[in-house]
Amino acid sequence: MLAIDTKNLEKTYGQHKVVKGLNLQVDEGEIFGFLGRNGAGKSTLINMLTGIIRPASGSFSLLGVPCPNGHIKKMIGVMPDYSVFYGNLTVLEHLKFLSALSGKPAAKERCLDVLQWVGLDDVARKKASKLSFGMKKKLGIAQAIIHDPKLIFLDEPTSGMDAESAIHIHRLIKELHKSGKTIFMTSHNLDEVEKLCTRIAIMKDGEIAKIGTMEELRSYYRSTITVHIKHGSIPEKEMPSFEQWLGSFAVKPKSDGTYTTFLLKNEKEIAELLRTFYQYKIDVYRVGVEEPTLEDIFLEEHYSNDLTENI
Amino acid sequence: MFVIGKKECFGLLKGTKSLVVVFIFLITAYYSAKFSPLMTATVDLNAREAKDMYTVGILFLVVILGQLFVMGLSHDSINREMHERTMRFLITRTSRTNILLGKYFGILLFWVLCISVSFFITSLFSKSFHFFIFFQTICILTYQVALTIMLSAMISKPGMTMFLSVILGIAFPIVGIWLALTSKAWIAWLKYITPYYYLERDDWTCLVIVLIAGLMLVIANAVFGRREC
């Protein structure tokens, strides 16, 4: 079943279209990552899907239920991007109040379990106004899952956090995914999205520029694979035929004798390359494959288009 | 709705606010009774009204200063949450109508509790409980709380509603009572949308005040439904 299904979803502020006829399908059980520059429309999309703002046109359904629908709110958890809590309530009181509001009042034990899980059990009775930024982010996650939702929206869950806290949040997201939750997250952190998400969409100017798994995105952007091989010396009697074989590559490899760099068209050529090395009885010590990272893809998507526009 | 109402009411009950309000009501009731012979001489009060001076004093206080009190404490009940974006926690969990009604009934319950305690204490002195005056007081409170909620939903800046609470709190009863008494036809029609006209009569027409409060809540709901949080 589709966890999220949008059809021609649009949001307009005055004359400016922030989200332009978005069609997006997210399957249940995915960790779906949404990338884009500031102002690309990521948070606007989350806000539309979670009922914070109303779409100008188009329709969407969550967990198979056409929205807006009051009942579906019990099955979704939302961590907004801007985490300000009620300063006069303690961490524990927040969870009690917000779970009751979701129609699934959580007992004190359940609240403490969730707080322990996110690492806030020490500050359960502290007022929210006294929490640090990282603690507020964790409370944001705790309140989003306290009512055991099926679909969780996380709007920039680690932005502004230190590395240790971010790693902790990553672990929590993975555990949520393992327990069968569908997670829809936005982020500026490309490494985080690459590491966590099963599928990724890159949003640009209110539209989805690219969507797919990390491998699909890589194969789309990858025209050549760079392979570095550290190898032993080539036997002299084999040298002429080996150089002839090397010449068969479209792009001539660069070699300094024991370290050669090849530009290959696909992964099959790596296997062929290694077979040839073994045939010539050349020892292979190390093989390194350079692949485009999400950062490369993201930058290529944004800056290549910018360059075209500027030209 | 119940959860939000409970939070709103408990939020107002916490601290010294409720104690101060009940204290002000009791002081008013006490001095109203103490100076009832003087009031009887200066204002046209009948024997029953003079006897009920304790409770009439509370009604008088709610009519004159009620709007100021209610708005002073709750002018930002909606727009503060939108301004600080805590409203997002509520909107992603329940409907906007539930939020609005929860806030309304929570604030109303706080005032009903304060008034009830004040009436109960004064009834111990006066050895009587005037249910009709109590009912009239509650009716005007439904109006004052609804007006507060409507303005808080319509005006997004808490600073602006705070300013308005002072202006309206002082001007509204003065203008409202003047409208109820004026004979100038071009403006007198406005008295039908203020609560003071319906309080003049000693019958159940004060129920109209509750209807107007309901109408204000419908308007507030329509405005709040379109607001982006």
β-sheet with A254-255: strand ranges across: A254-255, A259-264, A225-231, A284-290
Average pLDDT value over all residues in chain B: 87
Q: Are residues A204 and A66 in the same domain?
A: yes
Total domains present in chain B: 1
Least confident of A165-179, A274-288, B10-24: B10-24
Q: Over range A261-284, report the average pLDDT.
A: 86
Average pLDDT, rounded, for chain A: 86
Closest approach of A51 to chain B, Cα-based (Å): 6
CATH number, residue A151 = 3.40.50.300
Confidence of residue B46 (pLDDT cuts 50, 70, 90): low
Among A202, A219, A236, the domain-final residue is A219
pLDDT surpassing 80 at residue B47? no
Same domain for A281 and A185:
no
Average pLDDT over residues B92-117: 94
Residue with tokens 């520059």: A37
Contacts of B108 (CB under 8 A, 6+ apart): B141, B142, B145
Alpha-carbon gap, residue B76 to B155, rounded angstroms: 9
Tell me the mean pLDDT in the region B168-188. 87
Same domain, A109 and A230: no
Instruction: Assign A311 a pLDDT band (cuts: 50, 70, 90).
Output: very low
Residues of B in contact with A70 (CB under 8 A): 94-95
Predicted confidence band of residue A308 (pLDDT cuts 50, 70, 90): very low
Q: For residue range B56-78, what is the model confidence (pLDDT) as tens digits?
A: 778 888 888 888 989 989 999 99
Task: Specify whether A211 is located in the same domain as A232.
Answer: no
Q: In this complex, do B11 and A88 lie within 8 Å of one another by their Cβ atoms?
A: yes
Does pLDDT of B30 surpass 60?
A: yes
Q: Do A143 and B89 touch (CB under 8 A)?
A: yes
Per-residue confidence (pLDDT) for residue A259, from 0 to 100: 86
What single letter denotes the amino acid at residue B99? I
Greater confidence, A13 or B43? A13
User: Would the pLDDT of A104 be above 70?
Assistant: yes
CB within 8 Å: A50 and B95: no
The type of residue at A199 is: R
Same domain, A286 and A162: no
Q: A35 - beta bridge partners? A: A187, A202
Q: Are residues A12 and A93 in the same domain?
A: yes
pLDDT at position A126:
95
In this model, does residue B4 exceed pLDDT 80? Answer: yes
User: If you count them, how many residues does chain A have?
Assistant: 311
Q: How many residues does chain B have?
A: 229
φ and ψ at residue A270, rounded to 5 degrees: -65, -45
Residues A152 and A275 in one domain: no
Q: Which residues lie closer than 8 Å to A250 by C-beta, 6 or more apart?
A: A263, A265
Contact between B187 and B179 under an 8 Å Cβ cutoff? The reply is: yes
* CA-based end-to-end distance of chain A: 44
Mean pLDDT lowest among A85-89, A239-243, B104-108: A239-243
Q: Which residue of B has its CA nearest to A105?
A: B3
Asked which of A219, A237, A257 is the last residue of a domain, the reply is: A219
Mutation target to probe the A interface, by most A beta carbons within 10 A, among B4, B8, B89 is B89
Of the given ranges (A12-21, A41-50, A148-157, A299-308), which has the lowest mean pLDDT? Answer: A299-308
Q: Which domain, by its residues, includes A62?
A: 2-219
Are A270 and A200 in a shared domain?
no
Residue A141 CA to residue B6 CA, distance in Å, equals 24
A104 and A248, same domain (yes or no): no
Q: Per the domain annotation, does A12 fall within a domain?
A: yes
pLDDT band at B100 (very low <50, low <70, confident <90, very high): very high
Compute the average pLDDT of residues A200-212.
87
More confident residue, A106 or A160: A106
- Is the pLDDT at B44 greater than 70, yes or no? no
In the predicted structure, residue A306 carries a pLDDT above the cut 60: no
Distance CA A258, CA A176 (A): 47
**Contact (CB<8Å) B86/A86:** yes
B28 lies in which domain range?
Answer: 2-226
Residue among A82, A86, A102 whose CB faces B93 most closely: A102
pLDDT tens-place string over residues A225-260: 888 999 888 888 888 888 888 777 656 788 777 888
**SS3 letters for chain A?**
CEEEEEEEEEEEECCEEEEEEEEEEEECCCEEEEEECCCCCHHHHHHHHCCCCCCCEEEEEECCEEECCCHHHHHEEEECCCCCCCCCCEHHHHHHHHHHHCCCCCCHHHHHHHHHHHCCHHHCCCEHHHCCHHHHHHHHHHHHHCCCCCEEEEECCCCCCCHHHHHHHHHHHHHHHHCCCEEEEEECCHHHHHHHCCEEEEEECCEEEEEECHHHHHHHHCCCEEEEEEECCCCHHHHHHHHHHHHCCCCCCEECCCEEEEEECCCHHHHHHHHHHHHCCCCEEEEEEECCCHHHHHHHHHHHHHHHHHC
- What dihedral angle (degrees, nearest 10) is formed by the CA atoms of B47, B53, B58, B60? 50
Q: What mean pLDDT do residues A31-52 have? A: 88
Please name the member of A52, A73, A85 whose beta carbon is closest to the beta carbon of B86.
Answer: A85
C-beta of residue A298 within 8 angstroms of C-beta of residue A35: yes
The pLDDT value recorded for residue A265 is 78
What is the arithmetic mean of pLDDT over A218-229? 77
How far is A291 from A218, CA to CA, in rounded Å? 8
Closest-CA residue of chain A to B99: A101
In angstroms, the CA A237 to CA A257 distance is 15
A86 and A41 both lie in a single domain: yes
Which residues of B fall within a CB distance of 8 Å from A86? 86
Round to whole Å and give the CA distance between B143 and B220: 13
Q: With contacts defined as CB-CB under 8 Å, which chain B residues touch A97?
A: 3, 7
pLDDT of amino acid A301 = 64
Answer yes or no: is A119 within a domain.
Answer: yes
A99 domain residue, yes or no: yes
User: Is pLDDT larger for residue A237 or for residue B98?
Assistant: B98
- Which amino acid is located at B226 in the chain? R
Asked if A195 and A228 sit in the same domain, the reply is no
A95 touches A142 (CB < 8 A): yes
- The strand pair at A225-231 and A76-79 is best described as unpaired
User: A299 in a domain, yes or no?
Assistant: no
Task: Determine the pLDDT at residue B127.
Answer: 78
Query: In chain A, how many domains are there?
Result: 2
Last residue of a domain, one of A167, A191, A219: A219
Answer whether B94 sits within 8 Å of A73, measured CB to CB. yes
> Does residue A295 lie in a domain region?
no
Q: Which residues in chain A are contacts of B90 at CB distance < 8 A?
A: 101
| % chain B with pLDDT above 70 | 93
CB contact under 8 A, A84 and B86: yes
Alpha carbon A285 to chain centroid, angstroms: 34
Task: Please judge whether B91 and A52 are an interchain contact, meaning their C-beta atoms are less than 8 angstroms apart.
Answer: yes
Contact call for B86 and A51, based on CB within 8 A: no
Contacts with B92 from chain A: Cβ below 8 Å: 50-52, 73, 76, 78, 80
**Same domain? A171 vs A277:** no
Which pLDDT band, with edges at 50, 70 and 90, does A305 fall under?
low
**Which residue is associated with the tokens 């985490």?**
A83
Residue A303 is assigned to a structural domain of this protein = no
